[in-house]
Amino acid sequence: MSKRNKFILGITLFLLPFIGRVLWYYRGVYRTPDIPDVEEIIISLPQTEFQLSPEEDIVTVSGFVLFDLSHENNLEIDDLTSLRDRLVSRGVTVETRTKSDDSLEVDLRGALALVIAAPTSNFSIAEREAIAAFVEDGGRLLLAADPTRPVPPEDDYLESVLFPTSAIPVINSLANLFGVNYFDDYLYNLDDNEGNYRNIRLSINEDGYPLTQDIDQVVFFAAHSLQSDGITLLSGDKNTLSPLRTGEKNLAAAVLTTDERVLALGDVTFLTPTFHTVADNELFLGNIADWLVAAERMWDIKDFPYLFKGPVDVVPLAEGPLDPRLFIQTSKLWSIFRAAGLEFGLRSEADPDHDVLFVGTFADAESVEQYLDSAGVMVVGDEDNGETTEDNGQGFLEIEEMGKMNTEGTSLFIADLSGEHVVVVVMGQDFESAIEALQQLVANDFLGCIHVRNLTVCSTGEAQEKKDTKEDEAPSGDERTEGSPRIGSITESQAAFDDYTAEFLESLAEEDPDITSPQPGDTYHYTIEMEESQDVLWFYGWCAETEELLKQNMENIALVFTMNGQTISLDKFVEDDEYIPGCMFYYALLTDWPPGEHLLTISVTFEEEIDDGSDVYPAGTHIFEYQVTVME
């Protein structure tokens, strides 16, 4: 074979695979396929619209609702906007608390309701006590939490994100005060839901309540289940389940408790835009706003100036020209009344169509005698020297629950809300004392004062209680040593009680009077002698058959503690209703007793007939009297 043929053969063998590949994979010339002419179709999808449902017959009120955002609440900036808008449309203002170091008790003065949603940091004991007292006084409380709002992680580690810390203990620290328990779970329904098994449809469990008026169905978007002895407003059907509460049906997601003053919700998301527009959520949100502003607070002097209903006239009790010292206070009063949305004026006589703030001395008591009578107060002259109050500005106050008190160093406040217009009376021994009392009212400084019904008594001196006992019951010429024992702090008192390091005063007494059936006018005497100072517990307790009866009883029992003629505030005492169910204890540690004689009393007033479930006790006052002698 010639070289030429060998070359041609080599080229052919080299190209043969490429030619075969081309012939195998590319079998013909490409032809453009026919494209059918398809008519363009535009599919319109329904869009979720945020639209406020028109609300009719809205009742407007005055006052404010407090939103507590001081506990690292797991909320976005506009989560509560929908609720806020509805409250504003009802005439109230919405105030926000952002610092937990502020006094919650002060912030709640004048509030109609308190809203707490998704808190994640703990409430202090003082805050819990302030909230409980607020609800007891008629304020309304809205609690809301859900499983999608745990404690925010402090870092970005995967473990913190995937396994967040539950916020259930925080919300339960409040809810448990009112008999509500949040479970650390979530509700789900695999059969009937709103697009997701955790978006549950809830039905009305109890009809006839304003909160569920006109509502057929509410949707919660991830919710905790609740348990309460109160009213279950919303619950799921038999297919709404909890992974934690296996086998339980009709689980509650919204409950109303504590005389319909506390509403607990297992979801926060349904309050937020635009989730509040699903199903009847919008109506439910409006009903919640109506419920919050419908609170009927039991106002007292500590709620100044919010206890007033309309324009307020400040009127001196004394006739004649206005005292210049009263003018000085008007600027402070003006700013306070303005902040509360109230008109204010200084007048020599009260306008019959206005609320009134009377300021004056005990010598001018006749001008406000009707209000003094309603509070159980009588101003009398000094019976020892025959002089009257008008003669020397001194005298005594006869107070039903406290006996006689010297007017010297005593200021008195009466808040009369029984009529169409509110009347507040501020009185002191002289006008300078009355001005100081007015300043005390403006500052809301009632620490150490005694509150009985609509009466508040404060003392800067010694208010001696004169007794109607016979002379031979107390040796004449007997002088008590100046000074009194020290009252321990709340922590010291609790430690002494829990650790049994101090005895009760009664256990040291020579007598053992029968106090099983206290009667009006009875005085129970205890004589106690100490070789030297020792720690003792000053104690009073009351028990009833049930906790509900106990609560009713305590609302009608007024206690006044005095030591050597000085009234001691209940703030100094531990209040314990958990040590024994159905019992309320008041106790304080007394230590560092000065040598000499000391007189301690506990005045117990049943403001109306008391039924503790086992016996009935008539209305009236009985007294426990402790005569303590310390040798050295």
Give the chain's largest Cα–Cα span: 161
On whether residue 572 sits in a domain, the answer given is: yes
| Beta bridge partner(s), residue 264 | 143, 255
Let me know if 443 is exposed, middle or buried by CB neighbors in 10 A (0-12, 13-18, 19+): exposed
For the chain, give me the number of helices (H) and strands (E)?
13, 33
- 331 and 262 in a single domain? The answer is no
pLDDT of residue 309: 83
Domains in the chain, number: 3
- 130 and 274 in a single domain? The answer is yes
- 429 and 488 in a single domain? The answer is no
pLDDT of residue 157: 60
- 288 and 342 in a single domain? The answer is no
pLDDT of residue 57: 63
pLDDT of residue 321: 63
pLDDT of residue 252: 92
pLDDT of residue 594: 92
On whether residue 51 sits in a domain, the answer given is: no
Picking from 459, 479, 505, the residue at the C-terminal end of a domain is: 459
CA distance 370 to 351: 17
pLDDT of residue 24: 76
On whether residue 255 sits in a domain, the answer given is: yes
Domain range for residue 172? 64-293
pLDDT of residue 231: 92
> Phi, psi (5° rounding) for residue 465?
-90, 115
- 368 and 232 in a single domain? The answer is no
Sign of torsion, CA 95 96 102 104? positive
- 317 and 243 in a single domain? The answer is no
What's the DSSP call for residue 236?
Answer: -
CA distance 1 to 215: 104
CB within 8 A of 114, min separation 6: which ones? 65, 66, 68, 108, 131, 134, 139, 140, 141, 142
pLDDT of residue 589: 94
On whether residue 41 sits in a domain, the answer given is: no
* Tokens found for residue 278: 């699903």
Q: What is the mean pLDDT of each run of 10 residues along the chain (632 residues)?
A: 78 81 71 76 58 60 88 86 90 87 82 93 89 91 92 64 78 92 92 88 84 89 91 91 87 92 93 86 91 86 84 83 66 76 80 90 88 87 48 69 80 88 90 86 81 83 40 36 81 85 86 77 90 92 85 91 90 85 87 92 92 86 92 81
Which amino acid belongs to residue 487? I
pLDDT of residue 625: 93
Contact indicator for 605, 401 with CB cutoff of 8 Å: yes
User: For residue 620, is it left (φ>0), alpha (ψ between -120 and 50) or beta?
Assistant: left
pLDDT of residue 324: 63
Question: Whose CA is closest to 590, among 514, 508, 479?
Answer: 508
- 444 and 483 in a single domain? The answer is no
DSSP codes of every residue in 286-315: HHHHHHHHT------GGGTTTT--S-EEEE
Tell me the three state secondary structure of residue 261: coil
> Phi, psi (5° rounding) for residue 39?
-70, 130
Question: Whose CA is closest to 481, among 632, 590, 626?
Answer: 632
pLDDT of residue 320: 65
pLDDT of residue 323: 65
pLDDT of residue 561: 93
- 392 and 429 in a single domain? The answer is yes
Indicate which CATH number applies to the domain containing 583.
2.60.40
CB within 8 A of 134, min separation 6: which ones? 108, 111, 114, 141
On whether residue 104 sits in a domain, the answer given is: yes
- 288 and 310 in a single domain? The answer is no
> Phi, psi (5° rounding) for residue 10?
-65, -45
- 240 and 314 in a single domain? The answer is no
Indicate which CATH number applies to the domain containing 388.
3.30.379.10
∠389-360-336 over CA atoms, to 5°? 155
CA distance 153 to 67: 24
CB within 8 A of 282, min separation 6: which ones? 52, 53, 276
Residue 227 has, within 13 A of its CA and on its CB side, a CA count of 11
Tell me the three state secondary structure of residue 13: helix
Picking from 459, 487, 521, the residue at the C-terminal end of a domain is: 459
